[in-house]
């Protein structure tokens, strides 16, 4: 089915379908509506659940992926379990839709590359929500890097820590490698950290050495809630994905770096933290406190505050709230979706993460898995 050229009508409402009905799908839906789109279909894990989700969202149920043909959406949001991404992305591209696909784009880099190539061959806009790029102060640091204020990089380090799987009774489809892929924690959150590091610094990971650990050896097969911390009546199963990982890396320019990721760190809800040390300055950012950035020099330090009135053009553009009114994850996601839709309509948006970035992430994840198995340095 042929879609109209939306670049000729930038005020046209985009018609979007959402594949998946869990927590992240709700985030996608909200951002889509705020960006002016109409949700014309929703698909969950079963036809019955699809009808429930569609009723909740006041839209039409999609009970089979083949129904995308008749719905003919302009954009498809793929929010399904990782192992289904390839099937759902390919179905969306086949009906001529643009695609936003949750990360990881695919459970291996070869499949991710195939999806990226397919989108390009059909001229489709295809993006991945590495949304931490859309923190205004992330763009401020990046602008200062591009202006040469940090000089040559000395060390790149940080962590991404969560505790949502701390309890042995907490579980998710992500725990099972058959639905989530061979890596859980690193593919889920380490991918965000690495994307952000490369996006800000301009450095690219060339080789790495990784170690993984599974600290909770068994979890329930099913759970009534992803974040369930109470004893479950469900049968237990062996866990075959990592709870935490540490990665040491070198970039193509020889800069040393490291990152530690965990989903079992008590009290850490969503702490993506980095310090990037240059020969002139260092920068520290904490995603749980995104209104400020610490900038250090040899003889001084300062705290930068987010503001729509000062700093780089991109910081000002992405700052939708006054200073002191916390600009967080929701606003980042909204800006990401809005920028994707603007690109679909033929406009240009700086820093939009595409399927190429999804492929890059998949290559890093593949290397992390291979290194953790071999105990050796692996080339990315």
Q: Are 119 and 148 in a shared domain?
A: no
Q: Are 111 and 84 in a shared domain?
A: yes
Asked if residue 268 belongs to a domain, the reply is yes
Q: Are 120 and 144 in a shared domain?
A: no
3-state SS class at 96? coil
Domain final residue, candidates 131, 155, 189:
131
Q: Which CATH number is 219's domain given?
A: 3.30.360.10
pLDDT tens, position by position, 127-156: 999 999 999 999 999 999 999 999 999 999
Q: Are 189 and 322 in a shared domain?
A: yes
Q: Are 126 and 156 in a shared domain?
A: no
CA dist 256 and 208 (Å) reads 10
Q: Are 72 and 185 in a shared domain?
A: no
Q: Are 91 and 207 in a shared domain?
A: no
Asked if residue 243 belongs to a domain, the reply is yes
Pair of tokens at residue 88: 């759902």
Asked if residue 314 belongs to a domain, the reply is yes
Q: Give the DSSP H or E segment for 373.
A: helix 355-374
pLDDT tens, position by position, 99-132: 999 999 999 999 999 999 999 999 999 999 999 9
Asked if residue 49 belongs to a domain, the reply is yes
Pair of tokens at residue 30: 């909200």
Pair of tokens at residue 379: 């080339």
The whole-number pLDDT of residue 12 equals 63
Asked if residue 332 belongs to a domain, the reply is no
Q: Are 94 and 42 in a shared domain?
A: yes
The whole-number pLDDT of residue 221 equals 87
Q: Are 297 and 322 in a shared domain?
A: yes
Domain final residue, candidates 116, 131, 146:
131
Q: Are 117 and 208 in a shared domain?
A: no
Count the domains in the chain: 2
Q: What is the pTM assigned to this prediction?
A: 0.93
pLDDT tens, position by position, 181-238: 999 999 999 999 999 999 999 999 999 999 999 999 999 987 644 555 566 667 899 9
Q: Are 161 and 302 in a shared domain?
A: yes
The whole-number pLDDT of residue 234 equals 73
- Domain of residue 51, residue span: 6-131
The whole-number pLDDT of residue 342 equals 97
Q: Are 106 and 229 in a shared domain?
A: no
């Amino acid at each position: 089915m042929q879609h109209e050229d939306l670049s000729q009508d930038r005020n046209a409402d985009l018609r979007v379908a959402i594949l998946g009905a869990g927590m992240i799908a709700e985030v996608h839906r909200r951002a889509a509506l705020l960006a002016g789109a109409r949700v014309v279909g929703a698909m969950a894990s079963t036809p019955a659940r699809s009808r429930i989700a569609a009723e909740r969202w006041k839209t039409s149920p999609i009970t089979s992926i083949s129904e995308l043909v008749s719905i003919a959406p302009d954009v498809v949001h793929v929010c399904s379990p990782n192992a289904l991404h390839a099937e759902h992305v390919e179905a969306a591209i086949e009906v001529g839709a643009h695609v936003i696909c949750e990360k990881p784009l695919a459970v291996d880099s070869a499949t991710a590359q195939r999806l990226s190539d397919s989108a390009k061959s059909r001229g489709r806009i295809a993006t991945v929500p590495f949304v931490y790029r859309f923190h205004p102060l992330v763009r401020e640091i990046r602008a200062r890097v591009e202006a040469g204020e940090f000089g040559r990089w000395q060390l790149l380090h940080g962590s991404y820590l969560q505790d949502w799987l701390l309890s042995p009774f907490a579980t998710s489809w992500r725990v099972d490698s058959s639905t989530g892929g061979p890596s859980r924690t690193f593919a889920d959150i380490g991918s965000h950290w690495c994307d952000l590091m490369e996006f800000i610094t301009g450095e690219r990971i060339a080789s790495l050495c990784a170690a993984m650990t599974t600290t909770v050896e068994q979890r329930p097969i099913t759970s009534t809630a992803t974040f369930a911390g109470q004893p479950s009546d469900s049968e237990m199963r062996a866990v075959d994905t990592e709870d935490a990982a540490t990665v040491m890396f070198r970039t193509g320019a020889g800069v040393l770096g490291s990152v530690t990721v965990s989903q079992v760190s008590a009290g850490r809800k969503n702490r993506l933290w980095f310090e990037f040390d240059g020969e002139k300055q260092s920068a520290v950012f904490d995603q749980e406190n995104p209104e400020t950035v610490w900038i250090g020099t040899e003889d001084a330090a300062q705290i930068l505050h987010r503001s729509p009135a000062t700093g780089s053009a991109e910081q000002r553009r992405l700052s939708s709230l006054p200073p002191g009114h916390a600009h967080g994850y929701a606003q980042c996601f909204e800006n990401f979706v809005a920028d994707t839709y603007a690109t679909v309509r033929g406009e240009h948006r700086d820093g939009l993460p595409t399927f190429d970035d999804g492929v890059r992430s998949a290559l890093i994840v593949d290397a992390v898995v291979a290194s953790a198995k071999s105990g050796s340095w692996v080339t990315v």
